[in-house]
Amino acid sequence: MNAQDVLEDAQQRIRELGEDAGIRADVVEALLHPDALLETSLRVRMDDGSTRHFRGFRCRYNSTLGPAKGGVRFHPNVTRAEVQALALWMTVKCALVGLPFGGAKGGVEVQPKTLSPMELERLSRAYMRSMADFVGPDTDIPAPDVYTNAMVMGWMADEYEAIRRIKAPAVITGKPIALGGSQGREEATGRGAYLCIRELARRKRWQPDKLRVAIQGFGNAAYHVARLLQDDGYRIVAISDSKGGIYSDKGFNIDSLWQEKQKTRKVRAVYCEQSVCQLVKHDEISNDELLALDVDLLIPAALEGVIGPDNVDAVRAGTIVEVANGPIRTEAEKALCERGITIVPDVLANAGGVTVSYFEWVQNRSGYFWSLDRVRSELETFMKRAFEDTFRIADEEQRSLRNAAYVLALRRIGEALAAHGTKEYFQNGEFGHDS
């Protein structure tokens, strides 16, 4: 699925849900057009003395509810259309969770694994130099995304402050703790997904030790949700990365897999005792095979569009929790819902990251920093409330969870737009006065 298809898919979902839920036409129209989109060429000096140019993007999609918020990804497949789609999803996500943010996203078309650490720093700083007039603590606040991390955010924040000649830690979230980052930010996306699963388990009366889980992807978010689920007794029987996956019906020790992943950059079926690791019996599987496993819970935590018309019939999981952005295409989702498969949508399941980014922004602006326990407690409050609100609309209006999440977000954005005046208000020409 190419990026243009992803964008059109996201916009079509807005059109269909808006019409179905009776959302005002001006609200739907506002979410079909980004507020601003900047494309730039980043000039970077390489270690060998040569100069290369990289395409950079930043989309500020909608700022109705507050300054735009969204990550910056470094990936060879970054395109203008992909960035717009991701920014649209972020707009919906922030409205759903109740954050005072709009949606944004950014990226650089680059294969970061081919860059040296110093080249990566130069690229990060070049990106911020090109965006310094486009972002800001009250305008658009970037954060980490695919193949960016706390150190990259620290470089960007430092570059912004050098250009502006001020201290402005709130311009970037996901920074190192020493530079004003928040406790709990690294685990936030995975913990948010885990909290959704925990609420779902309570509603469905699951017995965790009876459930088998497969996770596509093994990045930071996937690791944390896997670790937390394993601590609750779930059996993680399959894990994969971009190169392929591993399967064992007996399950894996997640911390052992993560330890090996950090050392070798590979997903290997090992069990580790301190620094000594040994292989455990397993099957090697492809990502497509992982998606087709007969498991109770499937967690796509890699890239968008991995479940589509070509492979949807092979999916056998009873529940899917989207930790990745947009892993299920619209036409595939319809088929899954018809089969009674529960889907916890990305705009809810992976909202923990932007929620803790909001906490970091609040802490930076107040100059008062929270403990890890407070961050986790506040995150649980936000995620439980968003989950309950989504389920309530799903139950009351007989909608899927995704439809309910989007309807809730669209209504909140619609309320903010209506506060500026609606078509009906201006046609009636009425203006109330206090007596």
Burial of 114 (0-12, 13-18, 19+ CB in 10 A): exposed
How many C-beta atoms surround the C-beta of residue 79 within 10 A? 18
Give the H or E element holding residue 128: helix 117-131
The string of DSSP letters for 326-394 reads: S-B-HHHHHHHHHTT-EEE-HHHHTTHHHHHHHHHHHHHHHT----HHHHHHHHHHHHHHHHHHHHHHH
* Buried residues in 294-319 as b, exposed as e (16+ CB within 10 A): ebbbbbbbbbbbbbbeeebeebebeb
The closest alpha carbon to 83, from 20, 3, 199, belongs to: 3
Long-range contact set of residues 360-369: C-beta below 8 Å, sequence gap at least 24: 360/173, 360/174, 360/175, 360/180, 360/181, 360/182, 360/185, 361/137, 361/141, 361/170, 361/173, 363/180, 363/182, 364/137, 364/169, 364/170, 364/173, 364/180, 365/137, 365/170, 369/182, 369/183
- Give yes or no for a contact between 376 and 191, defined as CB atoms under 8 angstroms apart: yes
Marked catalytic residue, from 69, 93, 105, 175: 105
Q: How far apart are CA 123 and CA 409, in angstroms?
A: 35
- Give yes or no for a contact between 152 and 108, defined as CB atoms under 8 angstroms apart: no
Burial of 145 (0-12, 13-18, 19+ CB in 10 A): buried
Cα torsion angle, 185, 191, 224, 344, sign:
negative
Strand partners, 45: 51
Q: What backbone torsions phi and psi does residue 426 show, to the nearest 5 degrees?
A: -70, -30
Phi-psi region of 305 (alpha: psi -120 to 50; beta: other; left: phi over 0): left
Reply yes or no on whether 105 is catalytic: yes
Residue positions annotated with a catalytic role = 105
